Amino acid sequence: AQSVSQHNHHVILSEAASLELGCNYSYGGTVNLFWYVQYPGQHLQLLLKYFSGDPLVKGIKGFEAEFIKSKFSFNLRKPSVQWSDTAEYFCAVKPYNQGGKLIFGQGTELSVKP
């Protein structure tokens, strides 16, 4: 079965620390990849997406992600986190031949200490 795995359930960092959140998926075909963020009390928002081309994609608020096809991975990174980055982060995969359906990972809760 298709699945998306986020390795960390809860990450705690101090401000200015670097962030990397892991995401791996199991699907052998072409995919589109997304990272969504959910700030406390708010709706899910798109951080960034990979469709094709350059495997390093940049999103909003200084986030970036790298698609490594051979590793079936799409890890999210930020060089220096801020307290306002405290949120839950979801990786999602859209298999090419399944319309608009997304398969979500379990989510990673990020807590940034001021």
Partner 1 sequence: DVKVTQSSRYLVKRTGEKVFLECVQDMDHENMFWYRQDPGLGLRLIYFSYDVKMKEKGDIPEGYSVSREKKERFSLILESASTNQTSMYLCASREDRGLDQPQHFGDGTRLSIL
- Binding flag, residue 99, partner 1 (CB under 8 A): yes
- Binding flag, residue 13, partner 1 (CB under 8 A): no
Chain position carrying tokens 């990673």:
108
Q: Which amino acid is at 93?
A: V
Residue 83, helix vs strand vs coil: helix
CA angle 79/80/83 to nearest 5° reads: 145
Both tokens of 48, joined, read 């960034």
Applying the rule CB under 8 A, the residues between 41 and 70 that interact with partner 1 are: 42-46, 49, 51
- Binding flag, residue 40, partner 1 (CB under 8 A): no
| Binding site residues, partner 1, CB under 8 A | 4, 6, 9, 32, 34, 36, 42-46, 49, 51, 90, 92, 94, 96, 99-107
